[in-house]
Structure 1
Amino acid sequence: MGRRQPDLGRFTDVALLVLISLADGAKHGYRMIHDIEEFSGTSLEPGTLYGALMRLEERGWIEALDAESRRRPYRITEAGGEALREQIATLRRIEGTAAVRLGPAWGLS
């Protein structure tokens, strides 16, 4: 029997996932968890999400809105939108470099 290759897992950055989730409008934590899982396949634990929310709020990239019943929605700020645009541009450069380096043999060009 051959050796199984290790699973590399998902390449994620929680802050990036949160900013992407909030890019189309304000959401509370529970809705973000489900949105992130839907678009990325990444399951976040509440503690992981709320730690990221705290760090993003400290940077001024998101802001908490008034609570709706017991849930507090968050929205992306202008600075957060700019940070997201910069990160997406970086990811596009990385993807382009990978496609060139891997080439047609890998089906990426």
Structure 2
Amino acid sequence: MAYNGGPMTEAMYYVLLALMHPNHGYQLMHAITEVSNGRVKMGPGTLYGVLSRMQKDGLISLAEDDGRRKTYEITHEGEHALRVEYDRLKSMIQDGNILEGGEGNE
């Protein structure tokens, strides 16, 4: 089953962002906290569930498995999906300019 597009969960988005540089699970938890500026802290249970689903969807792949730890990397499909989601989120922010006193705010 491949990823069918559509809005990503926050967990998926930050896992893909953090995997712009290949990482293994423990490092990945710290990388997610880092790329989210401390807003997202993901525990092992959540992380490994998301990793498993994203691997099945073809968004990430196993770069290395030395028996002790698995290193994951983003796939081309994963990077494309991340960029589509990034553009969607940017559009949502721009659409919200009405809250900043933009047009239509009377």
Q: TM class by shorter-chain length? A: 0.7 to 0.9
Q: Which residue of 2 aligns with 1:29?
A: 25
Which structure carries more strand by proportion? Answer: 2
Q: Alignment partner of 2:64: what SS?
A: coil
Q: Which residue of 2 aligns with 1:84?
A: 82
Name the CA distance, whole Å, in 2 between partners of 1:69 and 1:37.
Answer: 26
Q: Alignment partner of 1:50: what SS?
A: helix
Is contact 2:24–2:72 with CA below 8 Å preserved after alignment?
Answer: yes
Q: Which residue of 1 aligns with 2:4?
A: none
Q: Which residue of 2 aligns with 1:103?
A: 100
1:16 to 1, 13, 30: 13
- TM-score by structure 2 length? 0.80
Aligned-pair CA distance for 1:39: 2.2
Q: Alignment partner of 2:72: what SS?
A: strand
Name the CA distance, whole Å, in 2 between partners of 1:54 and 1:68.
Answer: 18
Aligned-pair CA distance for 1:86: 0.3
Q: Alignment partner of 1:63: what SS?
A: strand
Name the CA distance, whole Å, in 2 between partners of 1:104 and 1:33.
Answer: 38
Over aligned residues, Cα RMSD in angstroms?
Answer: 1.6
Aligned-pair CA distance for 1:33: 0.3
Q: Alignment partner of 2:68: what SS?
A: coil
**4+ residue runs over 4 A deviation:** none
Unaligned runs of 5+ in 1: 1-11
- Sequence identity, in percent? 36
